[in-house]
A and B are shown apart, each in its own frame.
Chain A
Amino acid sequence: MTTISGVPGDSSDTFDIQSLKAKRSRSRNLFNIIMTGLSGLSILIALVPLVLVLFYVFINGVNRLDLDLFTQLPPPPGSAGGGIANAIVGTLIVVAIAAAISVPIGVLCAIWLSEFGGGDTSIDEYVRFGVNILAGVPSIIAGVFIYGIMVRPGRPGYSALAGGVALAVLMLPTIVRTADEALKIVPQEIRWAALAVGASNYQTILKVVLPAAIPSILTGVTLAIARAAGETAPLIFTALFSPFRFNGVTNPIATLSVLVYNFATLPFQPQQELAWAASLVLVLMVLLTSIIARVVTRQKTY
């Protein structure tokens, strides 16, 4: 080994090319392979229920997926035919009531938190804490709560409105949190810029900050809606069920989730088939809402 020159090519005889080659047996490579395998397996396990549920619901529900399903009322127990038109409309109405209540309140609350909170008060911290607690409240508690306020003997009684309010309670924390985050992402300079061209505080928030945050707020709203649409427990206490078509918001109303709950446990095959079909429609509605949420978030402003 007499080559001591600085020319790189000269040292090729001293360089062990084998040391660069990949070796499976190296312990770090082995570890990589095992970990990759494990996490791949976990993904499979996590996906299995999702795929099975979708598959099972689809197989069982698809043969009743006809025009009657969307236009007819449920038949009397034991008889075949009919549809779930009232429940589809009912779910849409109850969710719409819930959104009409929770979206304005939630967004205004978020505006207060992100635009006026802060400073030296810690009130907004308490509010955020409270909102997080509310998010963790089991949905059946929200149902019981509204039952106590609007339904129990001496109160107006079961109604679409009570169902909507119960779902609004469940949607509110999601909306507050996502809208709060969405508003905070809007850069401070944009507020200053609006004020610098002579806008007042509320003009700035309503005309500049809110529009910039709307795509993200909409995502939160659609996610909250998707979750609320599938809720059953709070509706059993509040909206109850109805075999008839929509009959005003002060009367009981049919919804898909409660229809599934009621019909799946009946001993008649036509009703069980309707329950499967209703499940499929519900899953598709939730899926569609989530996809819409994805599409709107793609057009982020900032």
Chain B
Amino acid sequence: MVDTMPMTGTATDVVLRAKDCDMYYGSLKAVRDVSIDIPKNKITAFIGPSGCGKSTVLRCFNRLNDLIESFRLKGQMTYHGQDLYASDVDPVEVRRRIGILFQKPNPFPKSIYDNIAYGPRISGFKGDMDELVETSLRRAVLWDEVKDKLPESGFSLSGGQQQRLCIARTIAVQPEVLLMDEPCSALDPISTLKIEELMKELVQNYTIIIVTHNMEQATRVADYTGFYNAQVVEGAGGKVGYLAEFGETQKIFNDPTLEETKDYVTGRFG
């Protein structure tokens, strides 16, 4: 495992840090030895073959894996230096600051307006809700398309619009980090480009981690890229994922240190 620290010598802050993290589902070790620093206001991409633990690591960052009963994390994860898994940390607060977006757009079964307003409302938002809904939708570049049909169901939108609605919903609770798990793989190319533009827009205010199977997408949007791989473990009858290489996207795609990374990014993976 190579533990490249791309930030050495720069002034970039580290928002999220994983240190020597092993992740288990029951007795199955799914991911081993992940150490990574996620830089502030940058887009970090996770790439790698299916089943090597990218989603697992991503969900660890906002404690969503807490909901999977068999899941266990060994190692340390910090958010601005604070241990995310310390016993006095409220996972609900963590998730509000570190939002997540999934592959399939999943609006709540509510109106477009209430999709956005739901999060702020339950967290006791006291300000002007209409204004918050509008700014959130504007930031997700969806406002002009939906401003006349806010009371309609979120399902009335197209797939790409639904995904942007989910982005708007996430940023409405004013998080600092956006986790995106293959947010474009269910979308057409035009919607994908829209989401990518939106990400570049958002990264000025947010820190973004995106899991993607699309190499070009990674090169288009990501400042840093982590390549995950999996290796077969004898006896246990499964494979365990690990972070093979992490560095600036340029370097990972043009001049990777490891042969396996090179094979993957050039499509010679097998």
Binding site for B on A (CB under 8 A): 118-120, 187, 189-200, 203, 207-208, 211-212, 301
Given contacts A195-B92, A196-B62, A198-B173, contact A301 B99 (CB under 8 A): no
Shortest CB-to-CB span from B198 to chain A, Å, is 18
Q: Is B102's CB under 8 angstroms from A198's CB? A: no
Q: Is A200's CB under 8 angstroms from B104's CB? A: no
Given contacts A120-B69, A192-B64, A207-B118, contact A198 B106 (CB under 8 A): no
CB-CB nearest in chain B for A119 = B69
Q: Is A212's CB under 8 angstroms from B118's CB? A: no
Report how many residues on chain B are interfacial, defined by Cβ distance under 8 Å: 28
Q: Does B54 contact A (CB under 8 A)?
A: no
- Inter-chain CA distance A211–B173, complex, in Å, is 22
Q: Is A198's CB under 8 angstroms from B119's CB? A: yes
Given contacts A192-B64, A192-B100, contact A197 B110 (CB under 8 A): no
Binding site for A on B (CB under 8 A): 62, 64, 67, 69-70, 92-93, 95-96, 99-100, 102-104, 106, 108-110, 118-119, 122-123, 155, 166, 169-170, 172-173
Q: Looking at the complex, which one of B92, B99, B106 makes contact with A200 (CB distance below 8 Å)?
A: B92
Given contacts A192-B67, A198-B123, A207-B118, contact A301 B155 (CB under 8 A): yes
- Inter-chain CA distance A203–B124, complex, in Å, is 13
Q: Is B104's CB under 8 angstroms from A197's CB? A: no
Residues of chain B lying within 8 A (CB to CB) of residue A120: 69-70
Residues of chain B lying within 8 A (CB to CB) of residue A118: 69
Q: Looking at the complex, which one of B69, B95, B108, B110 makes contact with A198 (CB distance below 8 Å)?
A: B95
Q: Is A193's CB under 8 angstroms from B69's CB? A: no
- Inter-chain CA distance A207–B123, complex, in Å, is 14
Q: Is B106's CB under 8 angstroms from A193's CB? A: yes
Q: Is A212's CB under 8 angstroms from B109's CB? A: yes
Residues of chain B lying within 8 A (CB to CB) of residue A212: 108-109
CB-CB nearest in chain A for B26 = A120
Q: Is B119's CB under 8 angstroms from A211's CB? A: no
Residues of chain A lying within 8 A (CB to CB) of residue B118: 194, 197, 199, 207-208
> Beyond A119-B70, A120-B69, A301-B109: 14 further Cβ-contacts under 8 Å?
A190-B106, A191-B67, A192-B67, A193-B106, A195-B92, A197-B99, A197-B169, A197-B172, A198-B95, A199-B92, A203-B122, A207-B122, A208-B109, A212-B109
Most buried by B among A119, A198, A200, A208: A198
CB-CB nearest in chain B for A208 = B108
- Inter-chain CA distance A199–B110, complex, in Å, is 15
Shortest CB-to-CB span from A252 to chain B, Å, is 43
The 7 closest A-B pairs by CB, nearest first: A197-B119, A198-B96, A212-B109, A119-B69, A189-B102, A196-B100, A189-B106
